[in-house]
């Protein structure tokens, strides 16, 4: 069985594509994807997402403010309250994105530091989004003592040196459908080199549908395509990849 370690279940198309979240979960189950982590991106959207997923024992939540949403409503005590909910297994997504929003870098750094501090206090792992901000990301994780709570670099697109620095802090590396894209040659080499005991798989649904679904809206069932591609790259059996990434997920988030 497979785990989708990062999806945004509140952002899927429930008008045309899916008949409610039950339908998404059933499609995932039919593809042998049995556990999902639905990731929060703003405080305002969190209560609705939690309400959606709460009836399902096999769906977990995270709570945080995405670096590209740092100008959304924020209050530290509200983040703390939401993040303390028992179904919330991680803090994030948080991090830095200087590629799309260099102009909010200062606020991104402040929010990121606040998330790291909270994650360490609650002892819940961090879900990190980072783009074009390698050094600042590592500095904030190190200075905040993030090795105490650990976490994951999600939708990984950085180089091997960055992966190694993150793994030294006890972090896992999560690979999305980007790895299946023809032009992602550097990422394919990084994935080949990554140790399997640090690897997670994700869809980041509704974004980034893997080949052969590219261009369609992504959904958790498609994490199997990501897994199959990685298994082929690493020349291991798909069953082994499924088993190890599921075990890694549980070690990190369900400890």
Annotated binding site for a divalent metal cation: 6, 8, 93, 129, 154, 204
DSSP conformation class of 104: G
Give the one residue of 18, 129, 131, 198 binding Zn ion; rule: CB under 5 A: 129
Q: How far is CA 101 from CA 130, 146, 211, 226, in A?
A: 12, 24, 28, 28
Shortest distance in whole angstroms from residue 125 CB to Zn ion: 15
Shortest distance in whole angstroms from residue 36 CB to Zn ion: 13
Asked if 131 interacts with Zn ion (CB under 5 A), we say no
Stretch that binds Zn ion, among 10-18, 106-114, 184-192, 203-211 (CB under 5 A): 203-211
Asked if 111 interacts with Zn ion (CB under 5 A), we say no
Nearer to Zn ion, 18 or 129 (CB): 129
Phi, psi of 74, deg, nearest 5: -145, 140
Nearer to Zn ion, 206 or 231 (CB): 206
CA 126/CA 166 separation, integer angstroms: 12
CA 154/CA 240 separation, integer angstroms: 21
Stretch that binds Zn ion, among 116-124, 176-184, 204-212, 227-235 (CB under 5 A): 204-212
Nearer to Zn ion, 65 or 79 (CB): 65
> Which residues have a Cβ under 8 Å from the Cβ of 220 and sit 6 or more positions away?
4, 7, 9, 24, 27, 28, 33, 36, 203, 205
Kindly list the residues in this chain that would bind Zn ion in the complex (CB under 5 A): 129, 204
């Amino acid at each position: 069985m497979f785990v989708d370690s990062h999806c945004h279940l509140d952002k899927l198309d429930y008008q045309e594509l899916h008949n409610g979240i039950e339908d998404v979960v059933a499609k995932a189950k039919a593809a042998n994807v049995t556990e999902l982590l639905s990731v929060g991106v703003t405080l305002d959207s969190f209560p609705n997402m939690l309400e959606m997923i709460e009836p399902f024992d096999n769906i977990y939540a995270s709570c945080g403010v995405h670096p590209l949403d740092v100008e959304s409503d924020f209050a530290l005590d509200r983040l703390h309250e939401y993040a303390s909910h028992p179904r919330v297994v991680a803090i994030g997504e948080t991090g830095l994105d200087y590629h799309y929003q260099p102009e909010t870098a200062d606020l991104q750094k402040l929010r990121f530091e606040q998330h790291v501090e909270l994650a360490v206090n609650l002892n819940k792992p961090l879900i990190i989004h980072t783009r074009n901000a390698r050094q600042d990301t590592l500095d904030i994780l190190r200075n905040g003592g993030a090795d105490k709570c650990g976490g994951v670099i999600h939708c990984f697109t950085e180089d091997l040196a960055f992966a190694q620095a993150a793994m030294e802090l006890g972090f896992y590396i999560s690979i999305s459908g980007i790895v299946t894209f023809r032009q992602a040659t550097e990422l394919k080499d990084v994935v080949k080199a990554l140790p399997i005991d640090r690897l997670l798989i994700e869809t980041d649904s509704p974004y980034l549908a893997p080949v052969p679904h590219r261009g369609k809206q992504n959904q958790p069932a498609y994490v199997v395509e990501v897994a199959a591609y990685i298994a082929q790259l690493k020349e291991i059996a798909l069953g082994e990849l499924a088993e190890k990434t599921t075990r890694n997920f549980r070690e990190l988030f369900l400890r």
